[in-house]
């Protein structure tokens, strides 16, 4: 993983596909072999850059109306329907476009615009995030601006994607109004067996540590689900109690530090499945999953961390000693104030967190005044989709120009 490069509070992390982009320019020549189609692209300066395509990949991305459903922009061609794997029988360049005849008899035409759209689609989801530690400032956005001004809303979505956490200030403090905020932002609300809204206030009969005045250690919610909601909203309606500061922790930074201390630790946490349970008098939730999910480039997709909900591991698991060594190190780093961004949520403050990335916690408080927080959950994919529409990353054509 990358070492910090932009100062002590944060550094940039590149997210998304890591493959090379297709050459820019117009197809100028082509060479066909049994297992490849190599195309040279001429740029505006007269230079040429070649790209070699796997035949099935090229056939699968045919932009013609026979191979896709024009009305819905969905694929129609199914790679397994042809008796033989695709192979180019012939190929030529005509008027700056690649024309291929396949062994099935199908003919495909790829213009420069079609190649540009294929490249954009194959690299969609590439963006720059920030891995942060103590001292970083989580961005704040005014409720009225976020709900009424699209420029502010785009900035909010960009900050949330980048940091995994933002705060909306000046929100209504009427119970249930958080639902209106999230719906106005166009985010899909997730329900669960424990309820649509999680009311957090003192409750001697509550089924979760959040119903007490105790410190709530850093965690992400709903670890009992195989697929926990990726987004969480914590809306403060009233906060007149002494203490109870909010804390957020960035798992990207935490796991970078863990890997630097013990290069094998993240691997064992990615391998061993651990049970988590949360239940009430009316609901039961349990699943068993590794604590860390990474993509093939090693970037963290999900840290599942909720010590209070964790269930016993098998006593004879062959990775038990290595797992506990890694878990103790992970917990030490998570608990280190050097990784904590702390602030007080006042009435009308609404915290949004990426529940797969950012851990949240609360310091202990003295119940000398009312304190009422409402949690709901949403899908972070909606934030990404809205951003792609706002920036033009999402187009109305899958591969055609």
Whether residue 164 sits in one domain with residue 101: no
As a whole number of angstroms, the distance between CA 339 and CA 319 comes to 28
pLDDT at residue 298 in the model: 83
Phi, psi of 178 (to 5 degrees): -60, -30
Question: Tokens 């540009």 label which residue?
Answer: 116
pLDDT at residue 6 in the model: 43
As a whole number of angstroms, the distance between CA 32 and CA 293 comes to 40
pLDDT at residue 297 in the model: 82
Q: Can you say whether residue 263 is alpha, beta or left, with left for phi > 0 and alpha for psi between -120 and 50 degrees?
A: alpha
Question: Tokens 């199908």 label which residue?
Answer: 106
Smallest Cα–Cα separation from 138: which of 317, 344, 302? Answer: 344
Whether residue 166 sits in one domain with residue 315: yes
Q: In the numeric block, which tokens belong to residue 11?
A: 């550094």
Whether residue 149 sits in one domain with residue 117: no
- What does pTM read for this prediction? 0.92
Q: How many domains does the chain have?
A: 2
Domain boundary among 59, 91, 122: 122
Whether residue 236 sits in one domain with residue 328: yes
Which residues are within 8 A (CB) of 328 and not within 5 positions of it... i.e. 6 or more apart? none
Domain boundary among 61, 94, 122: 122
pLDDT at residue 395 in the model: 78
Average pLDDT for runs of 10 along the chain of length 401: 53 92 95 96 86 97 94 92 94 97 97 94 93 97 98 98 98 97 97 90 88 94 96 98 97 97 96 95 94 90 96 96 98 98 98 98 96 97 95 73 46
Whether residue 80 sits in one domain with residue 150: no
Residue 206 belongs to domain spanning: 134-388
pLDDT at residue 398 in the model: 62
Whether residue 324 sits in one domain with residue 193: yes
pLDDT at residue 399 in the model: 57
pLDDT at residue 394 in the model: 85
Domain boundary among 94, 122, 150: 122
pLDDT at residue 401 in the model: 46
Domain containing residue 71: CATH number: 3.30.2020.30
pLDDT at residue 383 in the model: 97
């Amino acid at each position: 993983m990358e070492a910090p490069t932009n100062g002590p509070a944060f550094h940039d992390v590149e997210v998304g596909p890591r493959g090379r982009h297709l050459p820019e320019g117009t197809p100028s020549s082509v060479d066909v072999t049994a297992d490849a189609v190599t195309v040279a692209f001429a740029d505006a300066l007269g230079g040429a850059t070649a790209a070699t395509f796997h035949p099935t990949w090229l056939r699968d991305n045919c932009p013609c109306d026979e191979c896709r459903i024009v009305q819905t922009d969905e694929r129609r061609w199914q790679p397994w329907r042809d008796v033989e794997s695709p192979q180019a029988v012939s190929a030529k360049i005509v008027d700056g476009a690649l024309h291929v005849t396949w062994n099935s008899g199908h003919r495909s035409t790829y213009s420069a615009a079609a190649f540009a759209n294929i490249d954009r689609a194959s690299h969609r989801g590439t963006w720059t995030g920030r891995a942060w530690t103590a001292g970083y400032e989580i961005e704040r956005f005014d409720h009225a601006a976020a709900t009424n001004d699209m420029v502010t809303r785009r900035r909010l979505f960009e900050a949330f994607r980048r940091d995994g956490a933002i705060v909306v200030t000046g929100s209504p403090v009427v119970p249930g109004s958080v639902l209106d905020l999230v719906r106005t932002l166009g985010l899909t609300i997730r329900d669960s067996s424990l309820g649509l809204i999680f009311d957090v206030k003192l409750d001697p009969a509550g089924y979760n540590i959040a119903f007490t005045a105790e410190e709530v250690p850093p965690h992400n919610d709903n670890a009992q689900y195989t697929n926990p909601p990726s987004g969480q909203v914590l809306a403060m309606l009233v906060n007149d109690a002494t203490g109870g500061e909010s804390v957020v922790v960035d798992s990207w930074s935490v796991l970078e530090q863990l890997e630097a201390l013990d290069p094998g630790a993240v691997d064992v946490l990615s391998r061993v499945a651990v049970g988590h349970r949360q239940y009430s008098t009316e609901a039961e939730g349990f699943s068993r999953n590794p604590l860390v999910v990474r993509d093939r480039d090693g970037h963290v997709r999900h840290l599942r961390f909720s010590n209070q909900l964790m269930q016993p591991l098998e006593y004879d698991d062959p990775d038990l000693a290595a797992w506990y060594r890694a878990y103790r190190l992970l917990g030490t780093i998570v608990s280190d104030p050097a990784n904590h961004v702390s602030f007080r949520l006042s009435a009308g403050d609404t915290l949004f967190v990426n529940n797969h990335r950012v851990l949240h916690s609360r310091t202990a408080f003295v119940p000398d005044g009312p304190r009422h927080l409402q949690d709901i959950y949403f899908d972070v994919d909606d934030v990404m989709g809205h951003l792609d529409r706002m920036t033009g990353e999402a187009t109305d054509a899958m591969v055609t120009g």
